[in-house]
Chains A and B, each alone.
Chain A
Amino acid sequence: QVQLQESGPGLVKPSGTLSLTCVVSGGSISSNNWWTWVRQSPGRGLEWIGEIHHTGNTNYNPSLKSRVTISLDRPKNHFSLILTSVTAADTALYYCARGMLGVVALSPPVVWGQGTLVTVSS
């Protein structure tokens, strides 16, 4: 059974870069899936950040697109999130997830990591 685990710094300075990794175990990141990032905060609720397919194709939230990059690292079996120019509004619990099998694009997240809290503060 596939499991996901987020990791990364819990504190990022304003205007800095948020960088998170999601390690996938019990399955291959090269399988026919979409791999997704979602964040959750009291003020913004659940917010979809974007997704990456095993082929490397990506879909991003237009509101974040200029600041977001999602990438795959096949040898390490993980995928990553980079968010630049962060502000306090980016403070949230960040989740990685695996999408639904067989979905062509824009996949509902099915298997979720436990989440990692990132605070943007000086």
Chain B
Amino acid sequence: DIVMTQSPDSLAVSLGERATINCKSSQSVLYKSDNMIDLSWYQQKPGQPPQLLIYWASTRESGVPDRFSGSGSGTDFTLTINSLQAEDVAVYYCLQSYTTPLTFGGGTKVEIK
């Protein structure tokens, strides 16, 4: 299985500041035939299912605010939340869909400082 390792486990950021979450895969998740990166990011608020934020490592899902951005390649990926808002308090997960089984990271909890 591809192991997805997120860091940090949690972070506290002041309102309006930037939050950066990292995700490392144990092997490349680049799908060579179409040059797509099979890496997604999800946000999960308490009592709710995960919500897709970013797919193909950097493509924002429809309706997701542009303060959310994804980057990275190979095995190292980053989710950045610019100008953190109160409604961004949540747990964030990365997911690889390069090979079976699909595997999620352990999650990063984002709180307000």
| A residues apposed to B, CB below 8 Å | 45-48, 59-63, 95, 97, 100, 103, 106-110, 112-115
Contacts and interface: CB of A to CB of B under 8 A. Distances in A.
A45 B107 contact: yes
A117 to B, nearest CB: 12
Contact of A48 (B48, B55, B104, B107): B104
A49 B90 CA distance: 24
A45 B52 contact: no
6 contacts: A45-B104, A59-B100, A95-B49, A106-B97, A106-B102, A114-B48
Most buried by B among A95, A103, A106: A106
Most buried by A among B40, B51, B52, B100: B100
Contact of B52 (A47, A59, A62, A109): A109
Contact of A46 (B48, B55, B93, B99): B93
B17 interface: no
Contact of A112 (B51, B100, B104): B51
Interface string B76-113: 00000000000000000101011111111011000000
B99 to A, nearest CB: 7
> Across chains A and B, which 10 residue pairs bring their CB atoms closest together, nearest first?
A112-B49, A48-B102, A46-B104, A61-B101, A108-B40, A106-B97, A108-B97, A110-B52, A48-B101, A59-B100
B98 to A, nearest CB: 7
Contacts of B106: 45
Contacts of B38: 106, 108
